[in-house]
């Protein structure tokens, strides 16, 4: 059974586009949880274009209240900027259940590739050690590359999150999707063999999710943009349940 973590960034984007507090991020988060979501994911960026640092305490308190997993993702090298205290400071303050480290730049529209761990990434190893010392599970955002996955184990990660954008792009072609899925299947099997848990995320939706989850043991999917887009059609509660059905 694969757990569903709902990424609520798009709700914050909508709120921030107008200012004020509508839609109410906390009420939406609560509705996701009471509709059955196994976790909540946020990605606070230094430009604060969606989730803001002040949102995190309320979300943390709510996930604690409902005993729901809280996942904070972001670039661990994002430093203090204005009212943004720096990514690592946020992890120290709010101690999520899971911290997903992604290699996106501050001005990047969305995460679109995994880490290259074959480069000199000594500082990243130390950061993983720091985060794990807080009793926070660490997941590294990676492409389905066996060499990179092996390095993730050496770096001390607990899990990897497979970037599934390339799978989503290939989904409309039977030939391409078959070859692409084989790559993800091999990556997942290798990760499991060396003791790494596997999460997945990016552009997974109601059309392609079930097929993807047939590749092997995926512990968690993090879905935001597609899920919130579908909620405009089906309503949020029903949409969360549709994604849960696909996961389970």
> What is d(CA 134, CA 129) in angstroms, rounded to the nearest whole number?
9
129 is catalytic: no
Residue 172 is predicted with a pLDDT of 84
**Cis amide leading into 137 (omega within 30):** no
> What is d(CA 215, CA 61) in angstroms, rounded to the nearest whole number?
35
Among 27, 24, 25, smallest CA distance to 42 is for: 25
CATH numbers and ranges of domains, the chain: 3-247 (3.20.20.70)
113 is catalytic: no
More confident residue, 121 or 247: 247
Question: What tens digit of pLDDT does each residue of 102-111 get?
Answer: 998 766 667 6
Give the tokens for residue 155. Answer: 């770096």
Provide φ and ψ at 106, rounded to 5°: -55, -30
Residue 43 is predicted with a pLDDT of 96
Question: What tens digit of pLDDT does each residue of 15-47 get?
Answer: 999 999 999 999 999 999 999 999 999 999 999
178 is catalytic: no
Residue 109 is predicted with a pLDDT of 63
Which residue out of 69, 73, 161, 220 is catalytically annotated? 73
Query: How many C-beta atoms lie closer than 10 Å to residue 227's C-beta?
Result: 25
Task: Name residues whose C-beta falls within 8 Å of residue 122's C-beta, 6 or more positions apart in sequence.
Answer: none
Which residue out of 43, 50, 97, 190 is catalytically annotated? 43
Residue 108 is predicted with a pLDDT of 65
163 SS3 class? strand
Which residue out of 50, 97, 190, 202 is catalytically annotated? 202
């Amino acid at each position: 059974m694969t757990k569903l973590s709902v990424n609520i960034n798009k709700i914050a984007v909508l709120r921030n586009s107008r200012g004020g507090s509508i839609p109410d991020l906390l009420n939406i988060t609560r509705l996701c949880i009471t509709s059955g979501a196994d976790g909540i994911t946020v990605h606070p960026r230094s430009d604060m274009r969606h989730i803001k640092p002040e949102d995190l305490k309320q979300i943390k308190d709510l996930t604690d209240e409902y005993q729901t997993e809280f996942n904070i993702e972001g670039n661990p090298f994002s430093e203090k900027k204005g009212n943004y205290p720096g990514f690592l400071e946020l992890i120290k303050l709010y101690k999520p259940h899971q911290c997903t480290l992604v290699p996106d730049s501050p001005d990047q529209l969305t995460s679109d590739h995994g880490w290259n761990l074959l480069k000199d990434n000594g500082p990243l190893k130390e950061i993983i050690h720091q985060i794990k010392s807080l009793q926070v599970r660490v997941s590294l955002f990676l492409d389905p590359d066996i060499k990179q996955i092996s390095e993730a184990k050496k770096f001390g990660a607990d899990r990897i999150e497979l970037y599934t954008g390339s799978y989503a792009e290939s989904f409309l072609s039977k030939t391409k999707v078959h070859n692409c899925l084989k790559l993800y299947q091999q990556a997942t099997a290798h990760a499991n063999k060396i003791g790494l848990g596997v999460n997945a995320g990016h552009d997974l939706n109601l059309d392609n999710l079930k097929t993807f989850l047939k590749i092997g043991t995926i512990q968690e999917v993090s879905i935001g943009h597609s899920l919130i887009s579908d909620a405009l059609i089906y309503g949020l509660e029903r949409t969360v349940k549709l994604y849960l059905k696909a996961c389970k």
